[in-house]
Chain A
Amino acid sequence: MKKKTAHMGLFLALSMILSYVESLIPFSFGIPGIKLGLANLVVVLMLYEMGAKEALCVSVLRIVLTGFLFGNGFSILYSLAGGLLSFLGMFLLKRSGWFKCITVSTAGGILHNIGQVIVASIVVSNYYIFYYIPVLLIAGTITGFINGLLSQEIIIRIGKRLPKGGK
């Protein structure tokens, strides 16, 4: 149990560092709000290697903590909506057992953006925001695919050495 807590802390620290590194990389295509989502790499990895509960826990903690460190109350709200929807989608797709990691991650990337647009349109009560959906769909596919590719290679190459769930 102690070991697992330590591993989760390690993953949380890693995802927070990735969030920070990401803020240094300009990756926007001139479209506001598009991020590489490198921190989701950790979520995908944990989902596969440690378990769903642990992945969800680290994902939520990462969003809240980085929100307080680098963002504001609003960014936490949007990130949470995206993060939770994305997590739910990835969890269900993974559990179905039909898809490989890369597909699960791509779906996660798309759902992340859709979750954020839904919250944004509710907050400002302006449904024209949905005109961004095609752009965000494509962006989510690209970022999710990159993350999926990376985490899949990590799992295939060093997955056996990553900390596992349980004791």
Chain B
Amino acid sequence: MSKRFGKKDLIFFAILLVAAIGLLIFYQNRSLEQGQCIIIARNGENYGTYSLEKDQSISVKNEDGNVTNVVVIEDGVVHMEKATCPDHLCMHQKSISMDKETIVCLPNKVTITVIGGNEGELDAVAN
């Protein structure tokens, strides 16, 4: 074949395509349930659990008591309102509300994870 694209390249891209379609099907079939509450974690430790049904603004503080991130729950969806990190990637992320969706602020090590309301289900995930 040509010097630009060979047979083995074709095989590589075919495998990639199959893997992408496979993953897509897997994620389509995954139950996208409406979440009930969110867990905010800092440094991998649980910071607090908050209901998605109540509109609220949560300030996440670091060890020194300074506010590093502000999480806002509005109309059943959650987003990062403010962050002290330099890149603000977490603030540009879309609002989330579905089970297991996550917003991450890497520099501040703060994560927001949506979970279902069912406690048993939560334990199953944790295990």
Task: Assess whether B4 is in contact with A156, with CB atoms less than 8 Å apart.
Answer: yes
Residues of A within 8 A of B8 (CB): 98-99, 103
User: Within the assembled complex, what's the spacing in Å between the Cα atoms of A133 and B30?
Assistant: 15
Task: Assess whether B106 is in contact with A124, with CB atoms less than 8 Å apart.
Answer: yes
B→A interface (CB under 8 Å): 3-6, 8-9, 12-13, 16, 19-20, 23-24, 27, 41, 43-44, 86-87, 89-90, 92-94, 100-102, 104, 106-107, 109-111, 113
- The smallest C-beta distance from A145 to any residue of chain B, in angstroms, reads 9
- The smallest C-beta distance from A3 to any residue of chain B, in angstroms, reads 28
Looking at A33, A120, A128, the one whose CB has the most chain B CB atoms below 10 A away is A128
Q: Residue of A at shortest CB range from B5?
A: A100
User: Within the assembled complex, what's the spacing in Å between the Cα atoms of A119 and B27?
Assistant: 23
A→B interface (CB under 8 Å): 28, 30, 32-33, 71-72, 74-75, 78, 98-100, 102-103, 106-107, 120, 123-126, 128-129, 131, 133-134, 137-138, 141, 152, 156
Task: Assess whether A120 is in contact with B5, with CB atoms less than 8 Å apart.
Answer: no
5 further A-B pairs in the complex, CB-CB below 8 A; given A28-B92, A129-B111, A134-B23: A99-B12, A103-B8, A120-B106, A128-B111, A131-B101
Residues of A within 8 A of B90 (CB): 32
Task: Assess whether B3 is in contact with A100, with CB atoms less than 8 Å apart.
Answer: yes
- The smallest C-beta distance from B89 to any residue of chain A, in angstroms, reads 4
27 contacts between A and B (CB under 8 A): A30-B94, A72-B107, A74-B106, A98-B6, A98-B8, A99-B8, A99-B9, A100-B3, A100-B5, A100-B9, A103-B9, A107-B12, A124-B41, A124-B43, A125-B44, A126-B111, A126-B113, A128-B100, A128-B113, A134-B20, A137-B19, A137-B23, A138-B20, A141-B20, A152-B4, A156-B3, A156-B4
User: Within the assembled complex, what's the spacing in Å between the Cα atoms of A84 and B19?
Assistant: 23
The secondary-structure label for the interface of chain B is mixed
Task: Assess whether B89 is in contact with A137, with CB atoms less than 8 Å apart.
Answer: no
User: Within the assembled complex, what's the spacing in Å between the Cα atoms of A32 and B106?
Assistant: 11
User: Within the assembled complex, what's the spacing in Å between the Cα atoms of A72 and B3?
Assistant: 41
- The smallest C-beta distance from A150 to any residue of chain B, in angstroms, reads 12
- The smallest C-beta distance from B102 to any residue of chain A, in angstroms, reads 4
User: Within the assembled complex, what's the spacing in Å between the Cα atoms of A13 and B24?
Assistant: 39
Residues of B within 8 A of A126 (CB): 41, 44, 102, 104, 111, 113
